[in-house]
């Protein structure tokens, strides 16, 4: 059951029972408030005697009242910056949430967005590799401990994405069970089951805007032109904070279409959306905490905001491309006014070089895409 007789969404589907009675802005506001409250609750653990968080961070000098105040102020500033970006209320998300999409268009969206789902977790893996023992960060005890904690936080994201957990020697899964882990790709293919899309039609070439977004995420996370702090910000703040909100909009829209057009979608078919709403709240908090421990003054704030802007500009362009492809009409303009415009020459150059290296058959119009000099950045 996706909704009850009163039109409310059950708690095991979504934390907002009145999801379908809200507009997009109200959904966004709810997640902003919840994330702020959750982060403040996590910070309280820094001063709670006997807390595991306090013990873990005891040798990082992040336990004093002044540090907690700094972390709180830093979170509010960065959180406001990310969540005020127009991408989270993109015309595509709002149109889907309102149910202004047909079953045939849902199928086009599902196959195209799968290309994004298949690639995001690899960016986190790339970012983990930036925190190695030969980096400047590892030149002190505090830096080494911080590097280890950063790797742990990111590794948990990867484990959740791939559906694998911690195992001891006594319960390590045999290979067949390990390779059958319930990854986000597996969850997404359950949506294909519900939509009646056969296996041979599930993997399609990317449209150029999706390809750009995949490359931008990979570049900021792993390219040496970008610092480890930028890599961390890109896979955490820039990639995780808005996900529960816009996946809520997509989930709500799919529920509306299923109920209206008799698609018969079930919670199993929509599990990938349900899981992203729940898991990514936890991901955002954990990565925010470790990111804040890497940051010093105002310069680092601007570095992090710029990294987030690159990711959000790529996502904005991707959703515009999906709007055009799914609805076969031009997407309403989404203007990235200050402070969200991106003019960083590093990402422009890196993106153009990366396009030239792709396998052309993986992108619609791949040869032309590889030569294109138009980018999502101002």
Tens-place pLDDT, residues 105-131: 999 999 999 999 988 888 999 999 999
Q: Give the confidence band of 133 by pLDDT, cuts at 50, 70, 90.
A: confident
Residue 34 lies in a domain: yes
Q: So what's the pLDDT on residue 241? A: 87
DSSP conformational letter for 206:
B
pLDDT at 331 over 90: yes
Q: Could you tell me the two tokens for 314?
A: 């790529």
pLDDT tens across 226-281, in order? 999 999 999 988 888 899 999 999 999 999 999 999 999 999 999 999 988 876 56
Residue 154 lies in a domain: yes
Domain that holds residue 76: 28-165+175-334
**Span 360-376, average pLDDT:** 97
pLDDT at 176 over 80: no
pLDDT at 182 over 70: no
**Span 348-366, average pLDDT:** 97
Cβ density class 12-49: b for 16+ within 10 Å, e for less = ebbbbbebbebebeebbebbbeebbeebeebbeebeee
Q: So what's the pLDDT on residue 94? A: 98
Q: So what's the pLDDT on residue 143? A: 84
Q: Give the confidence band of 329 by pLDDT, cuts at 50, 70, 90.
A: very high
Mean per-residue pLDDT of the chain: 89
Model pTM score:
0.92
- Pick from 108, 89, 25, 101: nearest CA to 316: 89
**Span 145-158, average pLDDT:** 88
Q: So what's the pLDDT on residue 234? A: 92
Residue 355 lies in a domain: no
Q: Give the confidence band of 136 by pLDDT, cuts at 50, 70, 90.
A: confident
Residue 152 lies in a domain: yes
Residue 253 lies in a domain: yes
Q: So what's the pLDDT on residue 211? A: 98
pLDDT top residue among 69 and 28? 28
pLDDT at 180 over 60: no
Alpha helices by DSSP H, listed for the chain, are 24-44, 52-56, 65-83, 91-97, 103-128, 141-162, 175-179, 184-195, 208-222, 228-235, 237-240, 243-261, 271-293, 298-327, 345-355, 366-371
When divided into structural domains, the chain yields a total of 1
Residue 297 lies in a domain: yes
Distance of CA 199 to the CA centre of its chain: 26
Q: What is the CATH number of the domain that holds 87?
A: 1.20.910.10
Interatomic CA distance for residues 367 and 360, integer angstroms: 5
Residue 35 lies in a domain: yes
Q: So what's the pLDDT on residue 240? A: 81
Residue 251 lies in a domain: yes
- Pick from 82, 137, 19, 117: nearest CA to 284: 82
- State percent of the chain over pLDDT 70: 89
Interatomic CA distance for residues 253 and 259, integer angstroms: 10
């Amino acid at each position: 059951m996706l909704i009850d007789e009163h039109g409310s969404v059950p708690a095991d589907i979504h934390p907002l029972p009145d999801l379908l009675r809200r507009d997009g802005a109200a959904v966004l506001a709810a997640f902003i408030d919840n994330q702020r409250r959750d982060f403040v609750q996590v910070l309280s653990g820094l001063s709670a005697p006997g807390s595991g968080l306090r013990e873990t961070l005891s040798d990082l000098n992040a336990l004093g009242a002044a540090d907690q105040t700094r972390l709180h102020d830093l979170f509010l500033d960065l959180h406001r910056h990310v969540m005020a970006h127009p991408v989270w209320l993109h015309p595509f998300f709002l149109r889907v949430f309102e149910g202004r999409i047909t079953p045939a268009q849902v199928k086009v969206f599902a196959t195209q967005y799968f290309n994004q789902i298949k690639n995001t977790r690899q960016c986190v893996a790339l970012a983990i590799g930036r925190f190695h023992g030969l980096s400047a960060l590892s030149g002190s005890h505090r830096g080494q401990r911080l590097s280890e904690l950063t790797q742990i936080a990111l590794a948990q994201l990867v484990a959740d994405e791939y559906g694998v957990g911690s195992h001891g020697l006594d319960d390590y899964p045999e290979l067949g069970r390990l390779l059958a882990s319930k990854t986000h790709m597996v969850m997404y293919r359950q949506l294909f089951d519900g939509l009646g899309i056969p296996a041979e039609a599930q993997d399609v070439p990317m449209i150029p805007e999706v390809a750009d977004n995949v490359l931008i995420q990979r570049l900021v996370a792993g390219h040496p032109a970008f610092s480890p702090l930028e890599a961390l910000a890109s896979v955490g703040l820039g990639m995780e904070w808005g996900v529960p909100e816009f996946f809520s909009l997509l989930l709500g829209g799919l529920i509306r279409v299923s109920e209206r057009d008799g698609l018969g979608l079930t919670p199993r078919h929509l599990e990938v959306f349900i899981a992203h709403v729940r898991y990514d709240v936890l991901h955002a908090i954990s990565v925010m905490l470790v990111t804040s421990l890497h940051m010093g003054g105002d310069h680092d704030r601007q570095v992090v905001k710029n990294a987030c802007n690159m990711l959000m500009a790529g996502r904005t362009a991707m959703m515009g491309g999906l709007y055009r492809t799914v609805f076969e009409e031009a997407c309403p303009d989404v203007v990235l006014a200050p402070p969200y415009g991106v003019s960083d020459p590093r990402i422009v150059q890196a993106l153009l070089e990366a396009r030239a290296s792709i396998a052309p058959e993986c992108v619609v119009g791949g040869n032309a895409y590889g030569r294109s000099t138009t980018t999502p950045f101002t």
